[in-house]
Every structure is written in C-alpha cells, then in structure tokens.
Amino acid sequence: MRLDNKRVLITGGSSGLGRAIAMRFARDGATVAVTGRREDRLASLADMVSTAGGLCVPIPCDHTDPSANEAAVSRAEAELGGLDVLVNNAGVIGYDGVLDPDRDTWRQMMDVNVEAVYDLSCRAIPFLLEGRNPSIVNISSVAGLRPYPGLMGYCVSKAAVDMMTKVMALELAERGVRVNAINPGVVVTELHKQSGMDEAAYSAFLEHSKDTHPLGRVGAADEVAALAAFLVSDEAGFITGGLHSIDGGRALSSSR
C-alpha cells in the first residue's frame, strides 16, 4: 500500500479533515497517532481504525499548551516507534476585521493556527530527521492565498502558515525533509459550526458556496485526505515547498 510503514502524527483528528486524513492514511497502510480535544471522538476513531485492521493512537491535546505539545509528540514517537510524517491539521476559524475588531478572535487565530503549528513542528522535526523519507503537511486554506472581508485573523493566520511552509521547506531540504501545504476551499466539515454557525446558516452557506466555486460544488473531506496521502507518499518525493490548492477553482474567482 502507498503508505506502508509510515508513522504519522495528525493533529486535530476529532472530526472533519483530520479524521478523514487519519482514516485514509490507515487504509493506505500507515500507523497513526491522532490528537484532539474530544476524547470520545478520538476513541471512536481509534476503534474504527482498529476494526479496519490498522493502528491509531488517540492523544487528547490542547495545542495552545506547549507542554501538551511536547507530551503529544513524545508519546506519538514512542508508541509508533518513530515519526516519518507530521500533519498539522488542527485549526479554527473566526470572524473579525478592522471595522469590527475582536482581539480575542485575533489572538485565538494566531494561537491555534500559527503558534501551535510552529511549536509542534519544532518539537517533531528532531524525530522526523531520523525518520524514513520524512515530510510535513500543513493544512492551510484558500484564505491564505486571497483575502476575504470579515475574516481578518483567519486569512492572516493561514497566510502565515503558507509562508512558514515555504521557509521550513528551504531550511529542511538539505536534511531530506519535505514540507508542503494544502489550501482547501469550502469543504464539508464541522469547522464553521464549531465557530458558532447554526445548522440553517451552514446549509445556506454551503448552497451559496456552489456559486462561489467555479466547479459548482463544495469539496469533500475525503478529497483533501487523498491529496494529503499523495503528498506524504514516496511518489511525491520531489515535491516540497508547494501550496497545493484543492478548492474547485475558488482562488481563481472574484469575491462574491
């Protein structure tokens, strides 16, 4: 299988993209450690992977706590017998802007979407340097590539992830570690509902998004997971420093 013998740490796997990535990687032969804040969801994911014949180590973690990050990386490395791949998926979305500033939202975007990615990567890299064909995938967003009004903190945080990806790729290339980012458009996950959007508003948002994405639909988490699986595979061994859009053409369209 494509990811046989890959030992992978995936953050934010309680739901959405992280959960889909964990399931896809396990199906492709990887052993995975998955972090998240909801222990019940992590336990159910581990059961699903185990039932399918794979191994998933659930690690409850708040990634805004550096000591928790250190413990999570150490536990993943110990229980998997090493690390070959880090997927920085954990993230949040919030709504703010210069006309309606919300400093708490801004701080949360920076803490979760930027600081945690930096901290986790720094802690994982010493283990990755000893891994087999190691790589890092950062889950960014179309909002890292283009601006959206009312999403100031989110756009800035994802743009920071994109630049972090490029700098890390340059710094780690000579050590054999590849680093890439994935920039999804709107994908059906729990991200927006976790930010406070109710079911009716989310359904309306998804319907509107069919018009803002040139392919005429929103994305599925499994599609992002398939791209992530390719990027960490040995088939992608000459790909590093890339920002890989999977957005139905959203970044090409004008703001609506």
For tokens 């701080």, the residue is 107
By CB atoms closer than 10 A (0-12, 13-18, 19+), residue 172 is buried
Task: Tokens for 140, please give them.
Answer: 């960014």
Which positions are catalytic?
154
